[in-house]
Amino acid sequence: MNRDARILSGIQPTGKLHLGNYLGALKNWVALQDEFPHACYYCIVDLHAITAPYDPKELKTNVFDTALDFLAAGLDPDKAAIFIQSQVSEHSELAWLLNTITPIGMLERMTQYKDKKKKHVDHINAGLLNYPVLMAADILLYKATMVPVGDDQVQHLELTREIARKFNHSFGDVFPEPEPRLTRGARIMSLLAPDNKMSKSDTEKSYITLDEDPERIKNKLKKAVTDAGTSGELGPGAKNLLTIMEVVDPDAADRFAKDATEGQIRYSDLKMHLADKLGEYFAPFRERRRELAARPDTVWELLLDGTQQARRIASATFKEAKEKMGFI
């Protein structure tokens, strides 16, 4: 076991989390807190969330909802620090310092920036461009060695490594170069447009939230696109449903995959079986979430406690980086 491992990851508070967030990231976070207790830092990245149009009245509720999802999914505040990014001011401060060593050209080449620029034509702000620098600051402040994310974040991780290298080279060694940690569900696709990743910014019918009511799961899956692929292969929609099935019922996933190779697969059976299994799989999650929602004070206290743990590490690293850069 790597005793020096330090894990950091973050999720934007933009509403309830969906299956992509869970299978690509959160499920892995829970496994890592058990593998590396007291070495995991999990962050609700509210400063990132404001780079897209948002309603200030909803920000706090969204942070709370994300915290509920974290805890209901099994994150344990006794093993991992769970905190709110904006409550640890060193994130913004280090981001500023790192901005000064990050070439604009690299930021302009980021796929997510290019996609968001197309999506929010009336809201192309500097924060959107600098988003990956803030993400680098999130990671480097904790000297993280491992970052559990979905595959859409891998390019940002590469940039983080470049920034770390450049900083160490220019000012002296401070930051380790973090590695991404991906799962098999690193790219869960939209139910309605399975060539695109599942995303909260699409229509509600294209994703399943973790607390989704079983009847709604059924209705959404009924309408999921499962067009046949070329040359007898499974299409991207059916492949995506099988990837999800591998988590909730691996034996059934094998069975349906076998049916598919024999040309016997019935998509309606696949969908209904998956709906039942997803409903069962997330039943304890829904129950825990309901219980926690009834105890908001406990949830805010846990976040405060996590924030204090995060601050201790963040302030020490920030001091070190600032001194290396010549500040008093």
Q: Summarize as ranges the residues that interact with ligand TYM (CB under 6 A).
A: 8-12, 20-21, 24-25, 45, 48, 135, 138-139, 147, 149-150, 152-153, 185-188, 197-198
CB atoms near residue 196 (< 10 Å): 12
Q: Which is nearer to ligand TYM, 170 or 201 (CB)?
A: 201
Report the relative pairing of strands 40-44 and 146-148 from DSSP bridges: unpaired
Q: Which is nearer to ligand TYM, 8 or 253 (CB)?
A: 8
Per the residue annotation, which of 16, 143, 197, 277 is the catalytic one? 197
Per the residue annotation, which of 79, 117, 166, 200 is the catalytic one? 200
Q: Which is nearer to ligand TYM, 188 or 313 (CB)?
A: 188
**Smallest gap from residue 232 Cβ to ligand TYM (A):** 26
Contact 187, 236 (CB under 8 A): no
**Smallest gap from residue 178 Cβ to ligand TYM (A):** 8
Task: Give the integer Cα–Cα distance in Å for 215 and 187.
Answer: 25
**Smallest gap from residue 259 Cβ to ligand TYM (A):** 25
Measured from each CB, the residue nearest to ligand TYM is 24
Beta strands in the chain (DSSP E): 7-11, 40-44, 80-84, 146-148, 179-181
Q: Report the Cα 289 to chain-centroid distance in Å.
A: 19
Per the residue annotation, which of 27, 116, 143, 220 is the catalytic one? 116
CA angle 270/224/152 to nearest 5° reads 105
Q: Which is nearer to ligand TYM, 150 or 279 (CB)?
A: 150
Task: Give the integer Cα–Cα distance in Å for 220 and 208.
Answer: 8
**Smallest gap from residue 19 Cβ to ligand TYM (A):** 8
Annotated active-site residue 116? The verdict is yes
Task: Give the integer Cα–Cα distance in Å for 275 and 279.
Answer: 6
Just list the catalytic residues: 116, 197, 200
